[in-house]
């Protein structure tokens, strides 16, 4: 796999000839909706058996070798043009040889709410766990599914299903009151656990994934004790426990989203912890990257101090947002897939820029109403930068939110850097 950033005047056939790759392969790999319209700045995946990395500012040959799981001697042997391994320059091409890569095996979780069988089948080979979102609880501890998926597909790909448990309201949104009832009312908690065990007993589940959000700060210790009780019961029955936590930067971070999530306790108790390292750019906020790399780093800096890195799954967004400018409080951005974002740039004649600090692509355009828009999304460059953090911090792996929309680029970048652990 190689990466090419579209320049002014490029056509898909010129790019194909440059890389001696069929145009159809490039079109398919990048899910190009209109191959005749390539926005300047779009990052294209070029399918190949050999990976090339363009040196960026701050890179060293050692850091490149480490991020791709290649030994330094092997990397040097594949790049005889590099006379001094201590001196590489921005813009220089480095070949990453496939035959001597030591692919690190990682754990990959994917949330999904509603996806076509074809989309799910394309994603399952790259997943350790599939977390259908979700079974929501009511105030009495009764559970109701909210997803529409063909879960029988998972077994054929040796992907394990996790029973995702939430405190979602029927109308949407997380309920602090529902979480409070489950965590503090013994009868409700007993009923909740009885219903969880009944669902697990129907078969097809490998464990549970607990995503309780907007928990009252005063329920923090109750949440810890509930998690202890749940984990002990699940482990006795042979199931694993995964929890999902808000992206905290410190132990005492305030706010309803953060305060009750005890990183140290969850890291010691659960088998894996999903860190929801996204939504800095969100529906009702100002235009910015969904998962700026600097912010993700801050969360990982804190998390790896208080919980085992080998239990952490770093959250990776599989979507973008389109904001109308200027931002006004109370207005909502439109969510869109990464594929649709790039296609929108092409239709509107907008050049895609890449923010080096956030390590994320974005573009601006004017809509039919004459208002300016700003779109942030993910591409091969931003995903590669995020995945490099898995090796840097020694994490267990990653977790996608969410896989409703197929983004082949994501899986191609993942496959170029890691192999995926299978639970079944």
- Number of other CB atoms surrounding residue 372 within 10 Å: 12
DSSP state of 311: G
| 213 carries an active-site annotation | yes
- Say if CB 128 and CB 420 are below 8 A apart: yes
Of the candidates 153, 164, 154, 172, the residue with the CA atom closest to the CA atom of residue 196:
164
Of 24, 50, 105, 213, which one is the catalytic site residue?
213
Over 80: is that where the pLDDT of 258 sits? yes
Over 80: is that where the pLDDT of 280 sits? yes
Helix (H) or strand (E) holding 408, with range, is helix 408-417
Indicate the pairing of strand 312-317 with strand 397-401.
parallel
Q: Please confirm whether the linkage preceding 378 is cis (ω < 30° from 0).
A: no
> What's the rounded Cα separation, in Å, for the pair 77 and 227?
50
pTM for this model (two decimals): 0.90
Which tokens is 114 given?
């509603």
2-100 and 104-325+373-420 have identical folds: no
Indicate the pairing of strand 397-401 with strand 320-324.
unpaired
Q: Give the CATH number of domain 104-325+373-420; options: 3.20.20.100, 3.20.20.80, 3.40.50.720, 1.10.8.80.
A: 3.20.20.80
Per-residue pLDDT, 226: 98
State pLDDT tens for residues 159-188: 999 999 999 999 989 999 999 999 999 999
State pLDDT tens for residues 194-252: 999 999 999 999 999 999 999 999 999 999 999 999 999 999 999 999 999 999 999 99
Mean pLDDT of the chain: 94
Kindly state the average pLDDT of the residues 331-343.
98
Rounded to the nearest 5 percent, the helix, strand and coil shares of the chain are 35, 25, 40
Kindly state the average pLDDT of the residues 61-86.
83
State pLDDT tens for residues 338-362: 999 999 999 999 999 999 999 999 9
**Domains of the chain: which residue ranges?**
2-100, 104-325+373-420
> What's the rounded Cα separation, in Å, for the pair 123 and 154?
10
> What's the rounded Cα separation, in Å, for the pair 338 and 371?
22
The CATH code belonging to domain 2-100 is 3.10.350.10
Per-residue pLDDT, 102: 67
State pLDDT tens for residues 74-111: 888 888 888 787 889 999 989 887 766 667 899 999 99
Which tokens is 408 given?
């082949």
């Amino acid at each position: 796999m190689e990466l090419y950033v579209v320049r002014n005047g490029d056509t898909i056939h010129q790019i194909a000839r440059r890389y001696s790759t069929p145009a159809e392969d490039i079109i398919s790999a990048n899910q190009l909706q209109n191959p005749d319209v390539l926005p300047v700045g779009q990052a294209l995946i070029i399918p190949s058996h050999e990976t090339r990395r363009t040196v960026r500012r701050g890179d060293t040959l050692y850091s490149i070798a480490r991020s791709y799981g290649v030994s330094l001697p092997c990397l040097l042997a594949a790049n005889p043009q590099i006379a001094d391994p201590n001196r590489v320059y921005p813009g220089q091409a480095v070949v990453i040889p496939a035959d001597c890569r030591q692919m690190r095996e990682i754990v990959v979780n994917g949330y999904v709410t509603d996806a076509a069988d074809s989309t799910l089948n394309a994603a399952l080979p790259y997943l350790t766990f599939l977390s259908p979102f979700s079974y929501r609880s009511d105030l009495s501890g009764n559970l109701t599914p909210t997803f529409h998926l063909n879960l029988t597909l998972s077994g054929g790909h040796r992907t394990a299903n996790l029973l995702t448990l939430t405190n979602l309201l029927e109308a949407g949104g997380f309920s602090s009151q529902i979480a409070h009832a489950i965590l503090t009312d013994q009868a409700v908690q007993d009923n909740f656990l009885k219903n969880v065990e009944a669902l697990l007993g129907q078969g097809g589940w490998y464990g549970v994934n607990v995503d309780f959000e907007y928990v009252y700060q005063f329920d923090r210790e109750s949440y810890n004790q509930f998690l202890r009780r749940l984990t002990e019961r699940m482990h006795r029955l042979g199931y694993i426990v995964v929890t999902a936590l808000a992206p905290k930067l410190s132990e005492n971070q305030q706010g309803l989203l953060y305060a009750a999530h005890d990183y140290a306790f969850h890291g010691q108790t659960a088998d894996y912890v999903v860190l929801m390292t996204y939504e800095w750019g969100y529906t009702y906020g100002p235009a910015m990257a969904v998962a700026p790399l600097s912010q993700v780093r801050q969360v990982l800096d804190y998390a790896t101090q208080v919980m085992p890195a080998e239990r952490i799954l770093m959250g990776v967004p599989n979507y973008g947002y389109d904001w109308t400018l200027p931002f006004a409080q109370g207005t909502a951005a439109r969510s869109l897939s990464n594929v649709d974002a790039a296609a929108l740039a092409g239709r509107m004649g907008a050049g895609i820029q890449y923010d080096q600090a956030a390590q994320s692509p974005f573009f601006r355009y004017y809509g039919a109403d004459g208002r300016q828009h700003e779109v942030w999304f993910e591409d091969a460059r931003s995903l590669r930068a995020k995945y490099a953090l898995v090796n840097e911090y020694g994490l267990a792996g990653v977790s996608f939110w969410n896989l409703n929309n197929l983004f082949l680029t994501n899986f191609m970048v993942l496959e170029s850097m890691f192999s995926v652990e299978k639970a079944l």
